[in-house]
Amino acid sequence: MASFILRKAEPKDVSDILRLIKELAKFEEMEDQVILTEKDLLEDGFGDHPFYHCIVADVPKQHQSADSHVIIGFAMYYFTYDPWIGKLLYLEDFYVMKEFRGFGIGSEILKKLSQTAVRTRCSSMHFIVAEWNKPSIDFYKRRGASDLSLEEGWRLFKIDKQNLLKLLAILHAVQNGSTAERFV
Amino acid sequence: MDFTIRAATLEDCKDISRMILELAEYEKASDQVKITQRDLEQDGFSKNPFFHGIIAEVPEHHKSREGHTKVGYSLYFYTYSSWKGRAVYMEDLYVMPEFRGKGIGKALMSKVSQLGLAAGCTQLNFTVLDWNKSSLDFYLKQGCWDVTSDLGYHCMRCEGDALEHLAQGDL
């Protein structure tokens, strides 16, 4: 199987994007964590200020997947900022369906992303990988990626909505005068 | 102590740049700062900003030893989780040492959370260096959890020559 194209995702692709997000999450044993809907993807990716950008890999109909899909890979990314070095490209998701691996599609996607990063004057491309995912870690290290968690001791932290709301309560308490503080 | 938390403006870039350097020094990496005040002005305050800023300011009579009234900041931007949707990423959080212990850090983080929630975000993410025990403790106390520890996620980077080679399709 030789032919595939990589293109910018369009609104009509959201159903396939969600399907592939769920497949990747399943591989990471986190499928139940995906609460995003097609509607979210549509609003958040194709409005005036998109929260993300997406590239999809499209094969001709005669090469469609076992379950009849022609969108067989994708990458979701957005731009972030490092106050020391400036703009960065952050790769959120990157996935090619199992039956389409080994044809260079993943490499081409990564190449396209890197070209985008260079063209938009990003200093670097960042992403996270689970430490147990050895094939992916090897894939990235072969291409010159460095593991910041190992090499520099960076740990990724998260605070979810419940605790964000608690933090907000602190703000309100302070605003209502428990310390002499003004919020503009 | 009296302090104000507000959105950063173009005029704040001088102080933000100063404090970025102070934070870099604290992280033992000040030689790595390439971004200038001018870069911050362009990247944060144009039509399509790459980041947003919050400033903590004290009144004139509480100014720092060197005469600064802008004593803390946070830089953040919006990201996207393919599982949960909109998220906010807190890139920097810093309070000058002489102004710590007064709730300013917490108030800055609170403001970022408030803005994130208002924008429809369901999580706040950030990274902390593993040797930074006082920060780690502060964040864990706010109800944050360590994704690297708990899920084994490592932050990876591809930059410089490696990025150029990847763009050219070299293996």
CA distance A72 to A80: 27
**Which of the 8 DSSP states describes residue A6?**
E
Q: Which of B76, B94, B139, B153 is catalytic?
A: B139
Residue of A nearest to B92 (CA): A83
Q: For residue A60, what are its two tokens?
A: 């001709």
Q: Which of residues 56-85 of B touch A (CB under 8 A)?
A: 75, 77-85
Per-residue pLDDT at A179? 45
Alpha-carbon radius of gyration of chain B: 17
Which residue would you say has higher pLDDT here, A137 or A42? A42
User: What DSSP assignment string belongs to B29-77?
Assistant: -GGG----HHHHHHHHSSSS-S-EEEEEE--GGG--TTS-SEEEEEEEE
Which residue would you say has higher pLDDT here, A155 or B76? B76
Residue of B nearest to A114 (CA): B167
> ipTM surpassing 0.85, yes or no?
no
- At residue A182, does pLDDT exceed 60? no
Q: Among B13, B11, B112, B22, which residue's Cα sits nearest to residue B64?
A: B22
For the segment A155-176, the average pLDDT, to the nearest whole number, is 65
Using a CB–CB cutoff of 8 Å, tell me whether B5 touches chain A: yes
Per-residue pLDDT at B96? 96
- B12-17 LR contacts (CB < 8 Å, sep 24+): B12/B53, B12/B55, B12/B70, B12/B73, B13/B37, B13/B40, B13/B41, B13/B44, B13/B45, B15/B55, B15/B68, B15/B70, B15/B73, B16/A83, B16/B40, B16/B53, B16/B55, B16/B70, B16/B73, B16/B75
CA distance B123 to B76: 13
Residue contact B79–A171, C-beta within 8 A: no
Q: Among A10, A13, A34, which residue's Cα sits nearest to residue A22?
A: A34
Q: How sure is the predictor about A180, in pLDDT bands with cuts at 50, 70 and 90?
A: very low
SS3 A73: strand
Residue contact A111–B166, C-beta within 8 A: yes
- pLDDT tens readout for residues A78-105: 999 999 999 999 999 999 999 999 898 9
Q: Spell out the domain ranges in chain B.
A: 4-126
Using a CB–CB cutoff of 8 Å, tell me whether A56 touches chain B: no
- At residue A166, does pLDDT exceed 90? no
Using a CB–CB cutoff of 8 Å, tell me whether B142 touches chain A: yes
Residues of chain B with pLDDT under 70: 169-171
Q: How sure is the predictor about A176, in pLDDT bands with cuts at 50, 70 and 90?
A: low
* Shortest Cα–Cα distance, B104 to chain A (Å): 10
In this complex, the residue of B77, B128, B156 whose CB is nearest that of residue A146 is: B156
Residue contact A181–B4, C-beta within 8 A: yes
In this complex, the residue of B106, B139, B163 whose CB is nearest that of residue A117 is: B163
Q: What's chain A's average pLDDT?
A: 85
Using a CB–CB cutoff of 8 Å, tell me whether A54 touches chain B: no
Summary count for chain A: helices (H), strands (E): 6, 8
Per-residue pLDDT at A6? 96
CATH number of this structure's domain B4-126, picked from the four choices 3.30.565.10, 3.30.70.250, 1.10.3430.10, 3.40.630.30: 3.40.630.30
The answer to whether B153 is a known catalytic residue is no
Summary count for chain B: helices (H), strands (E): 6, 7
